[in-house]
Amino acid sequence: MDLVGKIAVITGGTKGIGLAVAKDLIQNGASRVIISGRDIWEGGKALKILTDMIDNKDGNQKAIYVPTDVTSEEELRELFDYTATNMGGLDILVNSAAILNESSMWRRMVDTNVVKFYLIKIFV
Protein backbone atom coordinates (compact mmCIF):
# COMPACT_ATOMS: atom_id res chain seq x y z
CA MET A 1 0.00 0.00 0.00
CA ASP A 2 1.56 3.28 -1.11
CA LEU A 3 0.50 6.24 1.02
CA VAL A 4 3.11 8.77 -0.11
CA GLY A 5 1.63 12.26 0.00
CA LYS A 6 -1.34 11.21 2.15
CA ILE A 7 -2.43 13.05 5.29
CA ALA A 8 -3.95 10.93 8.09
CA VAL A 9 -5.71 11.79 11.34
CA ILE A 10 -6.13 9.11 13.99
CA THR A 11 -8.30 9.82 17.02
CA GLY A 12 -7.13 7.68 19.91
CA GLY A 13 -3.79 7.33 18.16
CA THR A 14 -1.62 7.38 21.28
CA LYS A 15 -1.93 3.70 22.20
CA GLY A 16 -3.58 0.40 21.36
CA ILE A 17 -5.18 -0.05 17.96
CA GLY A 18 -4.83 3.64 17.07
CA LEU A 19 -1.06 3.61 17.63
CA ALA A 20 -0.76 0.34 15.68
CA VAL A 21 -2.59 1.95 12.75
CA ALA A 22 -0.34 5.04 12.99
CA LYS A 23 2.75 2.81 12.83
CA ASP A 24 1.36 1.05 9.76
CA LEU A 25 0.64 4.38 8.06
CA ILE A 26 4.21 5.56 8.73
CA GLN A 27 5.64 2.27 7.42
CA ASN A 28 3.57 2.63 4.26
CA GLY A 29 4.81 6.14 3.55
CA ALA A 30 2.03 8.47 4.73
CA SER A 31 3.42 12.00 4.62
CA ARG A 32 1.69 13.34 7.72
CA VAL A 33 0.29 11.18 10.51
CA ILE A 34 -1.60 13.23 13.09
CA ILE A 35 -2.44 11.35 16.25
CA SER A 36 -4.77 12.67 18.92
CA GLY A 37 -5.59 11.67 22.47
CA ARG A 38 -6.39 13.18 25.86
CA ASP A 39 -3.28 12.13 27.77
CA ILE A 40 -0.33 14.41 26.93
CA TRP A 41 2.16 11.97 28.49
CA GLU A 42 0.88 9.10 26.31
CA GLY A 43 0.84 11.46 23.33
CA GLY A 44 4.50 12.32 23.84
CA LYS A 45 5.48 8.66 24.14
CA ALA A 46 3.53 7.73 21.01
CA LEU A 47 4.98 10.66 19.08
CA LYS A 48 8.51 9.54 19.97
CA ILE A 49 7.76 5.99 18.80
CA LEU A 50 6.44 7.27 15.47
CA THR A 51 9.19 9.84 14.99
CA ASP A 52 11.85 7.19 15.64
CA MET A 53 10.30 5.06 12.86
CA ILE A 54 10.60 7.79 10.24
CA ASP A 55 13.55 7.60 7.86
CA ASN A 56 13.37 11.25 6.93
CA LYS A 57 16.24 11.71 4.50
CA ASP A 58 13.98 13.63 2.14
CA GLY A 59 11.86 15.33 4.84
CA ASN A 60 8.61 13.98 3.41
CA GLN A 61 7.25 12.30 6.54
CA LYS A 62 6.17 13.78 9.85
CA ALA A 63 4.25 12.56 12.89
CA ILE A 64 2.28 15.12 14.88
CA TYR A 65 0.46 14.88 18.21
CA VAL A 66 -2.56 17.12 18.86
CA PRO A 67 -4.04 16.81 22.38
CA THR A 68 -7.76 16.19 21.88
CA ASP A 69 -10.66 14.97 23.98
CA VAL A 70 -13.13 13.61 21.41
CA THR A 71 -16.03 14.33 23.77
CA SER A 72 -15.24 18.06 23.48
CA GLU A 73 -16.80 19.71 20.46
CA GLU A 74 -14.33 22.60 20.77
CA GLU A 75 -11.28 20.33 20.86
CA LEU A 76 -12.52 18.31 17.88
CA ARG A 77 -13.07 21.51 15.93
CA GLU A 78 -9.51 22.60 16.81
CA LEU A 79 -8.08 19.25 15.64
CA PHE A 80 -9.74 19.44 12.24
CA ASP A 81 -9.17 23.19 11.86
CA TYR A 82 -5.47 22.53 12.53
CA THR A 83 -5.47 19.78 9.92
CA ALA A 84 -7.24 21.91 7.31
CA THR A 85 -5.09 24.99 7.96
CA ASN A 86 -1.69 23.33 8.27
CA MET A 87 -2.07 20.28 6.05
CA GLY A 88 -4.62 21.45 3.50
CA GLY A 89 -7.11 18.78 4.53
CA LEU A 90 -6.94 15.06 5.09
CA ASP A 91 -7.03 11.88 3.06
CA ILE A 92 -7.39 9.24 5.78
CA LEU A 93 -9.47 9.39 8.97
CA VAL A 94 -9.29 6.63 11.59
CA ASN A 95 -11.71 6.89 14.52
CA SER A 96 -9.97 4.81 17.17
CA ALA A 97 -10.70 6.75 20.38
CA ALA A 98 -12.75 4.66 22.79
CA ILE A 99 -13.13 3.95 26.48
CA LEU A 100 -14.50 0.97 28.37
CA ASN A 101 -15.47 1.38 32.02
CA GLU A 102 -18.01 0.63 34.72
CA SER A 103 -21.67 1.56 34.31
CA SER A 104 -21.10 4.79 36.26
CA MET A 105 -19.08 5.99 33.27
CA TRP A 106 -21.82 5.13 30.76
CA ARG A 107 -22.47 8.72 29.60
CA ARG A 108 -18.77 9.39 28.99
CA MET A 109 -18.49 6.08 27.15
CA VAL A 110 -21.42 7.01 24.88
CA ASP A 111 -19.93 10.47 24.25
CA THR A 112 -16.56 8.95 23.37
CA ASN A 113 -17.70 5.91 21.42
CA VAL A 114 -20.81 7.29 19.67
CA VAL A 115 -21.26 11.09 19.78
CA LYS A 116 -17.71 11.73 18.55
CA PHE A 117 -18.49 10.13 15.18
CA TYR A 118 -21.27 12.65 14.59
CA LEU A 119 -19.08 15.59 15.65
CA ILE A 120 -16.12 14.42 13.57
CA LYS A 121 -18.38 14.12 10.51
CA ILE A 122 -19.45 17.74 11.00
CA PHE A 123 -15.89 19.07 11.20
CA VAL A 124 -14.48 17.03 8.33
Domains of the chain, by residue range, sit at 7-123
Separation of alpha carbons 124 and 53, rounded Å: 28
Q: Decide if 83 contacts 97 (C-beta within 8 A).
A: no
Separation of alpha carbons 6 and 39, rounded Å: 26
Query: What is the pLDDT, as a whole number, of residue 102?
Result: 67
Separation of alpha carbons 19 and 85, rounded Å: 24
Looking at the DSSP bridge assignments, the partners of residue 62 are 32
Query: What is the pLDDT, as a whole number, of residue 114?
Result: 77
Separation of alpha carbons 33 and 45, rounded Å: 15
Query: What is the pLDDT, as a whole number, of residue 101?
Result: 64
CATH superfamily of 7-123: NAD(P)-binding Rossmann-like Domain (3.40.50.720)
How many residues are present in the chain? 124
pLDDT per residue of the chain (124 residues) written in tens, 0 to 9: 789 999 999 999 999 999 999 999 999 999 999 999 999 999 999 999 999 999 776 778 999 999 999 989 999 999 999 999 999 999 999 999 877 666 667 777 777 777 788 888 788 8
Q: Which of 29, 34, 7, 4 is nearest to 96 (CA)?
A: 34
Query: What is the pLDDT, as a whole number, of residue 1?
Result: 78
For the entire predicted model, the pTM comes to 0.82
